[in-house]
Chains A and B, each alone.
Chain A
């Protein structure tokens, strides 16, 4: 489903958000605090009306010069940052609110499926006042889903939760993405959340949509600020393949080659994401055998750019996939790195996101 939008949002400054994306899976709207992420999401929902703006979702025009569909006529679900549950209704009443208001033929998702997907069976009779923060957010998500929306909008749904609650919620959001086939627009400024959840990014910078595309590509593009951060990183998709009991090592299949990661056994076939911090990747000219590092891949230097006088970021291509490495200027000089040079990338540590 394509989303075509041209928003002119007037605040103290003027935001011009123009984009045309194929909304599939989770699209993260990413940018620093105050850049207008939430305004954009609210404009898409119709909660804020801006002049000189247009919005088309799939085949439906939601806004142009002549049309402005109010939010209750748009097929959306909206999950707010802080609780917006109806305090006078119990969990069941909340979840049924939107479900009751759609026509029978648009009821694509049965209520019990929503309830079991978000693990709310035992909470149905409770009033919101008696729910924990994580439970409240789960009910919010369930309530939005139950109305079978064509598009799910989530405004920093995890921002108000502590780390433990966040970890508890990630699997639910991943599951809903996998099982529901509803495109999600997900506002966030958290590296952790987008690294873990986003399939593609809509990047807001300097009051415009700076770029959009697959997350692993945008993280490593040298013309975008993401690749210039101190904690610049690359993202790799992986599948658990086999496990070595003796050494407690997981073998993960990726498009770069096989990664070896220590730890508890991961379920075979499980889809994972690997986060490679640019700081943790070093470069050698020869394949080294006498090293403690397990993950070494042949690579090609694609691009070199300096952050300051002492440091360089090297964009490597491993099997044509981009990976960033941060090294010192001195090392680059010693190794005589230049575009096209064949090298080896030594990956010291890998964070498994799952």
Chain B
């Protein structure tokens, strides 16, 4: 069965995935809306930037985050100067890393969903007296709900499987930064295959169930694109 250390890692992982997904939905919705609707000429820069974590090795991302968040980095120094805990090797640091790492998996489905609505329903709502904000909440959001479901599950599942970034900026502090993938890695290193199996199988099952939910509820599921 699960050891208490493994359970701690499991709950930490779920907490990290939950917080990360929540933050991504909050900042990702307006960003995806902007990317879908704006006619700004250079928005492809922004799109490329959002897609970057898809191609970069997580270690690269983690390395630069470490430099940024560490006590000598700009963000780390800032935190220290205001008397806060340094961000590297903390749960908050992990959240920042995960938000960047999982960003395309949330932004892209949302952007696609907003694109698919097209201009017509929004124009119709405008001629019916709805202000831009009103149109966003009463037309765009409800019509994009399948995109939100996809974004939610992909963002959550992708954060569950995070390893490289955590390894670089999180380390291995139980209850603070030791997530599932690190725990599995440690079990394998110390040849505790039974424990590694249990955790790995749980992760496979959990991810599979979530993806099944997406495919079942959403016929037009789109795989994240580059």
Q: Which residues of A contact B (CB under 8 A)?
A: 45, 47, 70-74, 76-78, 80, 82-88, 97-98, 101-102, 143-144, 147, 153
Contact = CB atoms under 8 A, between A and B. Distances in A.
Contacts of A88: 142-143, 145
Chain B interface main SS type: helix
Interface in B99-151: 120-121, 123-131, 134, 138-139, 142-143, 145
Contacts of B131: 72
Given A80-B120, A82-B120, A102 B129 contact: yes
Contacts of A86: 121, 124-125, 139, 143
A73 B130 CA distance: 9
* Most central of A45, A72, A82 by chain B CB within 10 Å: A72
* Most central of B123, B129, B131, B142 by chain A CB within 10 Å: B129
B120 A97 contact: no
A292 B143 CA distance: 63
Nearest to A143: B128
Contacts of A83: 120
A70 B130 CA distance: 10
B143 A144 contact: no
B223 to A, nearest CB: 24
Contact of A84 (B121, B129, B138, B145): B121
18 contacts: A45-B127, A47-B126, A47-B127, A71-B127, A72-B127, A72-B129, A72-B130, A77-B128, A80-B123, A86-B124, A86-B139, A87-B143, A88-B142, A97-B128, A101-B134, A102-B129, A143-B128, A153-B127
B126 A80 contact: no
A72 B129 CA distance: 4
A97 B126 CA distance: 11
A71 B143 contact: no
Contacts of A72: 126-131, 134
A91 B121 CA distance: 14
Contacts of A45: 127
A78 B124 contact: yes
Given A71-B123, A87-B121, A143-B128, 9 more contacts: A47-B123, A47-B127, A72-B126, A72-B127, A84-B121, A84-B124, A86-B121, A88-B143, A102-B129
* Most central of A73, A86, A143 by chain B CB within 10 Å: A86
Contacts of B129: 72-73, 98, 101-102, 147
A282 B142 CA distance: 62
A88 B128 CA distance: 16
Instruction: For the complex of A and B, list the 9 residue pairs with the smallest distance between their C-beta atoms, beginning with the closest.
Output: A98-B128, A101-B129, A78-B127, A84-B120, A71-B126, A84-B124, A88-B142, A72-B126, A72-B129
A153 to B, nearest CB: 8
B143 A101 contact: no
Nearest to B144: A88
B142 A144 contact: no
Interface string B38-74: 0000000000000000000000000000000000000
